[in-house]
Each structure stands twice: as structure tokens, then as C-alpha cells.
Amino acid sequence: MTERLVREYYSGQGIKEWKRLVRDSYHKLEFDTTTHFIQKHLHKKKGLILDAGGGPGRYAIWFGKLGYDVVLLDLSLEMLEIAKSRIRRSGIQKRVKQIIQGLVDDLSVFESETFDAVVCLGGPLSHIVDDAKREKAIDELIRVTKKGSHIFVSVIGRPAVLVNELIRLPKEIELDFFPVMRDTGNYYGGFGFAPCHFFLPEELEESLEKGGVRVLEMVGLEGLASGHRKETNMLARKQPTAWKIWWETHLKTCTHPTSVGISEHFMAICKKH
């Protein structure tokens, strides 16, 4: 049921989802911070990457341009159609070994230890509301990763979602779904967004470690700027020098537990032993 709603939601997003990560300076924080930390941890510039829940393919293309081979998997056929066209336009078709419709919680099309790195970015894991399926998805991401390789998982953070309700959607605080979402992290859809499990940082860390990887770093992708879209975009547009200093400030602070905790999206960087 929730899977159908997630599929319907992303089928309706179209090109908007392709533009999400570059829409403005605030949204670019997610992409720039993610790629900054991937480059910090992946040194080889070659190997096969699985982009699980890769949607319209922005990260897959980024990896392809760097020289990696990529397999792109997503639930939504519409997202994969956009990815195909963007991959063609970007001229990296040779790097993209497979584009397949599939679920993160069933990667049985892949042998164990197939990939040199696995990424699951921008919240595909958050869209699996069922606890058992989410655990299975984590096990699957780990299973298909080679021993000694990295897994990068970013999800949507629960505290940031609650603050967003306070600032932008206060009417919803009185609705029945609010305390459920607050107490369990689970949101079953129906109010403008696809069903989601909103994570606490320690919850993501524990689930991954239970699955058998070491979490090397947790990173707040919007960090201290989280929720401050207008102010962030204004600073970037009007004060380029200050914006450069803010980016440095962001990089210096985004791994602090406070920054991770308040971020709209946070990423766990893991290594399989």
C-alpha cells in the first residue's frame, strides 16, 4: 500500500525531481555536501557503483563523469525514463551498465559482493515505512557491497520535519498523524508527501551497525542552515564572500551531532568489514 503511494508520488514528480538538488543554493547544499564526502572517502575513481533509489540519475551521472561504472535502480519507471534521457544528454552512456526498475529491499538480481561502492541517497530508505522491509533493505545494500567497500546512505531527519511543521504547516500539528509521526517517525501519506519513515540519527546508525557495517561518519547535509531556505538563498545570491565563508563553516560543523540532528537530510558513511 505505502509502496504504491510512493510510486504514484514519484511518477507525478517528473522533471521537478531531476531539478530538486540544483533548484537553489539551499538545495545544492545536499548535493554538494554529499559529493564532497563521497570524494573524501572514495579515492580510486574506478569501479562499479550501485545507485539504489537513484531516481532521475543526478548522482549516477556525477559518478559516470568521474570515471566510475554505474548501475541505476529505482522503483519508479517515470524517474528511470528521465534518467535515461539525462544520461544520453550527458554523454556517459558507456559508463551506465544497467538501468533497472526494482526495490531497495530486494536486490536479488545482484550477486553478493558485486559493487565497489553503494549509494542510497536523498531518502529512498525513508520511503520504506515498514520496519521489517527497511531492515531487509539495509541488509540488501550491505550484501551487494564488496568487503572493505563503502556504503553511503542519506535519509530524511525527524527533528527537521517536526520543526518544518511548526514553521510552515502549524495547522497540521492538530491532526492525528502528527503525534504518530513525532513518536514513531512514521508518516503514511495523504498530506502532500509520499509515505515516509523520518529517522533519528542514532536510529540510522544503529540499524546500519546491526546490519554489519562500521559507521565512519554521520553528516548533516543542510547542517546549521537546515530549514533556513530563504536566508541561505539570499546569502548565496547577495553576499558571495559571506557565502564562501558559510560553506567553510558548514564543512567545519556538519559532522557535529547537533548539525546532523537538525538536518533535513543526513548521511551515514559506512564501511563493510
Contacts of 8 (CB under 8 A, 6+ apart): none
Q: How many CB atoms lie within 10 A of CB 197?
A: 24
Nearest approach in angstroms of CB 239 to ligand SAM is: 28
Nearest approach in angstroms of CB 150 to ligand SAM is: 16
Q: Which is nearer to ligand SAM, 125 or 235 (CB)?
A: 125
Contact status, residue 31 vs residue 22, Cβ threshold 8 Å: yes
Q: Which residue is nearest to ligand SAM (CB)?
A: 122
**How remote is the C-alpha of 268 from its chain's centroid?**
10
Cα(188)–Cα(220) distance, integer angstroms: 25
Q: How many CB atoms lie within 10 A of CB 69?
A: 18
Nearest approach in angstroms of CB 87 to ligand SAM is: 14
Phi, psi of 168 (to 5 degrees): -110, -25
Nearest approach in angstroms of CB 102 to ligand SAM is: 6
Contact status, residue 112 vs residue 182, Cβ threshold 8 Å: no
Nearest approach in angstroms of CB 124 to ligand SAM is: 4
Q: Which is nearer to ligand SAM, 79 or 254 (CB)?
A: 79
Residues forming contacts to ligand SAM in the complex (CB under 6 A) are: 6, 10, 17, 21, 53-55, 58-59, 74-76, 79, 103-105, 121-124, 127-128
Nearest approach in angstroms of CB 1 to ligand SAM is: 13
Q: Which is nearer to ligand SAM, 122 or 211 (CB)?
A: 122
Q: How many CB atoms lie within 10 A of CB 203?
A: 14
Contact status, residue 120 vs residue 152, Cβ threshold 8 Å: yes
Q: Among 75, 77, 74, which Cα is nearest to 59's?
A: 74
